[in-house]
Structure 1
Amino acid sequence: MSMVYLVGAGPGDPGLITVKGRELIERADILVYDYLANKEFLKLAKPCCEIIYVGKKGGDHTLPQNEINDLLVQRAMEDEDAVIVRLKGGDPYVFGRGAEEAQELLEAGISFEVVPGVTSAVAGPAYAGIPLTHRDYASSVSFITGHEDPTKAKSAHNWDALAKGTSTLVFFMGVKNLPMIAENLMKHGMKPDMPVALVHWGTTCHQRSFVSTLDSVAEEAVALGYKAPSLIVVGEVCRLKEELEWFELRPLLGNGVVVTRAREQASGLLSQLGELGACCYEFPTISILPYEDDSHISKEIEKLGSYDWLVFTSVNGVKHFWATLEAMDLDARALGGKKVAAIGPATAEALAERGIRPDFVPEKYVAESVVDGLLKLGIKGAKVLIPRAKVAREVLPEKLREAGAEVTILPVYETGLAENDPQEILQALENDEIQFVTFTSSSTVENFFELIKPEVFRKYRDAIMLACIGPVTSSTLEGYGFEADIAPEEYTMAGLVDAMVTAVS
C-alpha cells in the first residue's frame, strides 16, 4: 500500500524546509499542497508527479478539511506503492490539523509518517528581529490560536493565565480578532503599554512588521492595512525588534523583479536578487535547445588541432560544446596548446570548472573591447573557432575578420521563444506588484515583447524600472519605444543587481 508523508513546508522561505522534506518532494508520485506552502517546492517534483492544490487559505478553502482527509485516504488506496506527500505550511502538528489527517489515515489502515517543519511562530518573529525567549524578558512561550469565534459565550482560553503569566504569547490566525485579543488581555490584568508586534507573511519577500502597544495595536493594524496571514507576538521581547531586526533591512525587500533569462541561466540572478529580498518572477523568454544531431560539432572538435584560438561567448556555449566533447570521450586535454578567450566572468568560471583557465577575459564585454584585447595577444592571422548559438549577433566575428583573423562559427545550441503563459506577469502588473523588469540580451527584449505586446506593457511603464545589461540590449529596447532606466557600466549580473540596489536606495 502507498505511504503518506505529512511534511511541514516551513514558514515561506524555501530555504527553511528540512532536508528530509525536500527529498520526499523529489520522490513524490502525488503531491498535495496548500496555500501557505511555497510554490517553489513544486519545481522540485519529478515531471510525472501529480500535483493537487487544496487551498486552505483563510476563509477560502478549495477543499474543506474533511474532503482533504478523504482525498488522502482515497489516493493511498487507489495508487498502490505510491509516495504521497501532503505538503503543509509551517509544521503539520502546530495548528496545522496534521493530527486529524493522521487519524483518518490510521483509521483507514494506511501507513503514514510525519516530517516536522519550521513553524512560522518561531521563524516569523526571528526574521522580524524578535526572539521568543530572552533571559532578561521571557523564559517561556505560548502558542495560541487567535481564530476563535468572538460571539461565542465562552472562550477556550484561560485569559487570566495568559495575561498574568511571564510568557511570550504568539497568536496564530488572529488578525481579525485582534481587538478582542487585546481587550481580553487588558481586562485580565495585562498592562496597556505591553509591547505587541505583528509579522505579516514572515520569512517571505512580502514580510513586513511593526511594534505597537496592547492598547493601540488593533487600531494601528487597521491603519497599516495588516491582514492574514499575520502573527501576533505579545511580550517584552518585542522591545528587541529595533535592535535585532535584519531581514527587513534587505535593500530590495518587497520589490517585484521579472527575470527574463532562459531558465537554464536564471538561477544565479534569481539567487542574488532573492538574497537581497526581491520577489522574483521567473519569466524565461528564451528556451535553450541542444542539437539532436551534433555531428557538425564533433567534426570541428576533431579538427581542433588546426585552430589557434577558441572564443566562448556564453556559459551555454561552454556547456553544449563540452557535452559533445565528453560524448566523444574527450576532456580538457583536447584543448591543449590552444588559446582560449571567455567573454565575461560567468563564461570564464564555466571554463574554470572544466579545467580551463582562459588566456583572455576582456574588461568590457562588447565586441570592440574583445577585439582590441585579442589584437594585443596576436589574434591577427590566427584561426579562431567560436562555439555559440545558431543565431547570434555577427558583430564579434565580423570585427575579428576585419582584424585579420580567420573565423569559424560553430553553432552548439539553438535558442527559441519560450512557451510561457504571461498571465501571472500581467496580473502582477495589474496589481502593482512589479517594480523592475530585467533584460540581459537583445533576445530577452525581443521575446518579452512577443509574449507581452508593447502596447499592453506601456500601460504600466511609469511604475516600472527597466534594467538592461549592455548597450546593445538597451538599443534593442529603444527599438520597441522604451528607454532603459538602469544600464550599469559593468555588463555583468553583479553590476545589474548593484545598480538596482542603488536605484532604490
Structure 2
Amino acid sequence: MNLYPLALRLEGRRVLVVGGGAVASRRVPALLEAGARVVLVSPSLTPALQSLVDAGKLHWEPRRFEASDVDGAWLVQVAVDDRFAAAAVSAAALERRVFCVRADDRHQATAWTPAVTRHGPVTVAVTAGGDPPRAVVIRDAIREGLLDGTLPGCVTPAVAAGRPAEAAEVVGGGRVVLVGAGPGDPELITVKGRRMLAEADVVVADRLVPGLLLDELRPEVELVDASKIPYGPARAQEEINRIIVERASAGLLVVRLKGGDPYVFGRGGEEAIACAEAGVPVTVIPGVSSSIAAPAVAGIPVTHRGVAHEFTVVSGHVAPDDPTSLVDWPALARMRGTLVVLMGLKNLPAIAATLLAHGRSPDTPTAVVQEGTTASQRTVRTTLGAVTEVASSFRPPAIVVVGEVVGVLP
C-alpha cells in the first residue's frame, strides 16, 4: 500500500472521536495538544477522559454514535472494539469525504495514526507499511538518537547556523532559560532541559551540575563555571546575574544550569527578577529536587500512608540560633511529618539539638544521604539522638531525613 504522508493543522478545527475507552484515552491528548476542538461520542468514559471533560478541554456527547455526528468534522477517530459500530462510523465518514482513523481495523480506514516521537520542534511519524510493532521499534530508535544527540536532527538548522531556534522566535534573539539539572545522575535531567543544552550558546553552570551534561555541549558553546566566580556569595550572584543578562542581551540563548530545581534553594528567583528588570525573556524548566530524589533512591519515601501525611523541606545553611534564620525550628520539632534538611551538615549538631530541645524524640529515625543518585551515593540510618556523631564522616552534598519514614521500607 502506497501512502501519502501528511501533517494536519487541527487548531480550532472539529475532530470527532467515537469511543470512550482506553484507545480514546491514548489518542485524545495528542489531538488536544494540536489544538483540535474535540467532540467525543460515547455512552461512558474512562476516568482520564472524564477529567478532561470536567476541565472543559473537550465536549462529550453521552450517547451512541449517529451519522450526523460526522457533519462539520475535519477528522474522525474511531476508538471502539465493536467492528460493526466502527464500520458504521467509517461509512458515515466516507460518505461525507472525511478522513477516518480506525483503531480496530487499519485496512478499513482512510487514514492511519503513525508511531510518533517529538523532540522540540522536530516531530517524527513512522508507519512502517502498516506494521505497528515495527513502527514502534523504529520510532523508539529515532527517539533515542534525538535524545542522545547521535542523530543530526537533534540540532535544528537555526542552531547549526549559530542561532538557537527557540531564541530566534524572540524579538532581539536572546533569552535566558533556567534549567534544573536534577539531583546528580545526568539521566535525571528532563528531556526539555537536555534539549535546551543542545541548543544553548552560553551555559552558566553550578558546582553540583552533573559533569557528563557539560561534556555533551557543542564545542562552540561558552561555558561559565559559576562556582569559580570570585567575590563573596552576594557579589558572586550579582556577577552571575550580570553575565546571563549581558549574554542574552547580545542575542544569545543562555542556559543557567542548576543542580536540582532552580527554585528550590537555587536562587533562581533572583535571576528571574534580574532578567525581568533588564527586559530579558526568561523561562524555567523545573528539575528533580534532591529533597525527594535522594531519599527515594536510598529507599526512603518522604510520605507513606499511615506514617507521614506531610513533609517539610528546609535549608540548614543558617544555624537555628542565627538571627538571620527564617526557619521556625521549634514548630518543626512539634510536627509529626517528615523533615528534609538540605545544606545542613555543618550546622547539624545545632539543628539536632534544637529539634530535641523542643520535643522531637531522640529515637526518631534519621538518615543521611550523601551524593544521592550518583555512583558515590552513601547512606546511613540512625536516630536523631545519634545523627551528629554518625554524620561527622559525611561530606556535602548530603541531605538529612528525620521521621518515621526512614524505617518504613525493608
Normalising by the residue count of structure 1, what TM-score does the alignment of the two structures yield? 0.45
Change (3 A) 1:62 1:73: same
- Cα distance change of structure 1 residues 45 and 153 upon mapping to structure 2, 3 Å threshold: closer
Larger radius of gyration: 1
Superposition pairs of residues 326-337 of structure 1, within 5 angstroms: none
Give the direction of change, closer, same or farther, for the CA distance of 1:131–1:56 in structure 2 (3 Å limit). Answer: farther
The one of 385, 392, 403 aligned to 1:215: 385
Match of 1:67 in 2: 239
Could you tell me which residue of structure 2 aligns to residue 33 of structure 1? 205
Choose from 195, 212, 229 the match for 2:397. 229
Query: How many angstroms does 1:154 deviate by?
Result: 6.9
RMSD of aligned C-alpha atoms? Answer: 2.0
Using the alignment, how far apart are the partners of 1:32 and 1:153 within structure 2? Answer: 32
Q: Does 1:3 align with 2:167?
A: no
Alpha-carbon distance in 2 for matches of 1:131, 1:154: 31
- After superposition, the C-alpha distances for 1:119-140 in whole angstroms (9 at most, x for unaligned) are 0111100111100000021011
Q: Deviations over 1:95-124 (max 9, x none)?
A: 110000000000011001000000011110
Of 341, 352, 369 in structure 2, the residue corresponding to residue 171 of structure 1 is 341
- Structure 2 CA distance for aligned equivalents of residues 170 and 226 of structure 1: 16
Give the 3 Å change call, closer, same or farther, for CA 86–63 of structure 1 in structure 2.
farther
Structure 1, 202-211 or 36-45: larger mean CA deviation: 36-45
1:157-182 superposed Cα distances (whole Å, 9 cap, x missing partner): 22232111122110110000101111
Which of 294, 318, 321 does residue 124 from structure 1 map onto? 294
User: Residue in 1 aligned with 2:279?
Assistant: 109
Task: Tell me how many residue pairs correspond in the alignment.
Answer: 237
| Distance in 2 of aligned mates of 1:239 and 1:133 | 12
1:61 deviation in Å? 6.5
Structure 1 residue 45 and structure 2 residue 223: aligned?
A: no
Give the Cα–Cα distance (whole angstroms) in 1 for the partners of residues 380 and 275 of structure 2.
41
Distance 1:190 1:150, change over 3 A: closer
The C-alpha deviation readout for 1:265-305, integer Å capped at 9, x for no partner, is xxxxxxxxxxxxxxxxxxxxxxxxxxxxxxxxxxxxxxxxx
How far does the alpha carbon of each residue in 1:163-205 deviate from its partner, in whole angstroms, 9 at most, with x for none? 1112211011000010111111111111111011100001011
Structure-1 separation of matches of 2:215 and 2:330: 47
Equivalent position SS for 1:55: helix
**How much does 1:56 deviate?**
7.4
- Over 3 Å counting, the alpha-carbon distance change for 1:154 and 1:9 in structure 2 is closer
Q: 1:63: Cα distance to partner?
A: 7.4
Distance 2:276 2:391 in 1: 42
Instruction: Note closer, same or farther for the CA distance 1:206–1:43 as it changes in structure 2 (3 Å cut).
Output: same
Q: Where does 1:430-469 land on structure 2 (aligned, <5 Å)?
A: none
Distance 1:118 1:56, change over 3 A: farther
5+ long unaligned stretches in structure 1: 244-505
Q: Which amino acid aligns with 1:72?
A: I
The residue that corresponds to 2:63 in the other structure is: none
Q: State how far apart, in whole Å, the 1-side matches of 2:236 and 2:219 are.
A: 28
Task: Measure the CA separation in 1 of the matches of 2:228 and 2:321.
Answer: 23
Cα offset, 1:153, TM superposition: 4.0
Aligned residues of 1:146 and 1:177 also touching (Cα < 8 A): yes
Specify the SS of the correspondent of 2:227.
coil
Partner residue in 2 for 1:134: 304
SS at structure 2 position matched to 1:64:
helix
Instruction: For 2:216 and 2:272, locate their aligned partners in 1 and report how far apart those are by CA, in whole Å.
Output: 24
- Report the equivalent of 1:466: none
Distance 2:317 2:404 in 1: 23
Q: Report if aligned partners of 1:56, 1:62 keep a CA contact under 8 Å in 2.
A: no
Residues 167, 76 of structure 1: CA spacing in aligned structure 2 closer, same or farther, 3 A cutoff?
A: same
In structure 1, what is the equivalent of residue 129 of structure 2? none
The Cα shift of 1:150 comes to: 5.2
Between the aligned partners of 1:9 and 1:60, the Cα distance in structure 2 is 24
Cα contact 1:34–1:56 (8 A) shared by 2: no
In structure 2, C-alpha distance between the alignment counterparts of 1:149 and 1:132, rounded to whole Å: 23
Asked if 1:13 corresponds to 2:185, the answer is yes
Give percent identity, aligned residues only.
47
The residue that corresponds to 1:239 in the other structure is: 407
Cα deviation for residue 62 of structure 1 reads 12
Question: Which amino acid is the alignment partner of residue 184 of structure 2?
Answer: G
Query: What CA distance in whole angstroms lies between the structure 2 residues aligned with 1:165 and 1:158?
Result: 11
After TM superposition, give the deviation of residue 75 of structure 1 in Å. Answer: 1.4
Q: Distance in 2 between matches of 1:180 and 1:67?
A: 32
Q: Trace 1:482-497 onto structure 2 (pairs within 5 A).
A: none
1:190 pairs, out of 352, 360, 371, with: 360
Distance 1:60 1:107, change over 3 A: closer
| Aligned pairs for 1:246-261 within 5 A | none
| 1:237-267 residue CA offsets vs partner (Å, 9 max, x unmatched) | 00135x1xxxxxxxxxxxxxxxxxxxxxxxx
Within-5 A mapping of 1:274-423: none
1:55/1:61 contact within 8 Å kept = no
Aligned-partner Cα distance in 1 for 2:329–2:321: 16
Question: SS in structure 1 opposite 2:213?
Answer: helix
Unaligned 5+ segments in structure 2 are 1-171
Moved beyond 4 Å, runs of 4+:
59-63
What's 2:110 paired with? Answer: none
- Paired position in structure 1 for 2:331: 161
Kept in 2, the 8 Å contact 1:6–1:112? The answer is yes
